[in-house]
Amino acid sequence: MSLQSLIFHAVPFAMIPPLLLAIMLIRGSNLTIRILSIHIMISAVVECGSALLWAMKINNIFLLHLYTLEEFALLSWFYSSLISGSKWALFFRISIVVFSILSILNSIFLQAVTVNNTYARALESLICMIYALICFHKMINYPAGMPKPYVTALLLINSGIMIYFTSSSLLFTLSNYLRKPGLTDARMTLWTFHAFFCTIYYLLLFIGLWIMRKAKLHSYYLQAPSLY
Q: Higher confidence at residue 79 or residue 138?
A: 79
pLDDT in tens, 210-220: 999 988 876 76
Residue 203 within a domain: yes
Question: How large is the average pLDDT for residues 128-153?
Answer: 86
The answer as to whether 127 is a domain residue is yes
**Among 101-110, 119-128, 190-199, which is the least confidently predicted range?**
190-199
Average pLDDT value over all residues in the chain? 88
Quick check: 164 and 18 in contact, CB under 8 A?
A: no
CA 227 remoteness from chain centre: 24
Whether 218 contacts 24, CB under 8 Å: no
Domain count, the chain: 1
The pLDDT of 167-195, averaged and rounded, is 77
* Residues forming beta bridges with residue 83, ordered by sequence position: 224
pLDDT of residue 171: 83
Q: Where are the alpha helices (DSSP H) in the chain?
A: 3-14, 16-25, 31-55, 61-82, 86-105, 118-140, 148-174, 184-214
Instruction: Let me know how long the chain is.
Output: 228
Three-state DSSP class for 145?
A: coil
Q: Is the CA virtual torsion 100, 106, 112, 116 positive or negative?
A: negative
**For 2-31, how does the pLDDT look when each residue is reduced to its tens digit (9 = 90+)?**
777 787 778 888 999 999 999 999 988 889
Provide the domain limits for residue 110. Answer: 3-214
Residue 135 domain-assigned? yes
Residue 190 lies in a domain: yes
With beta carbons less than 8 A apart as the criterion, state whether 222 and 146 touch. Answer: yes
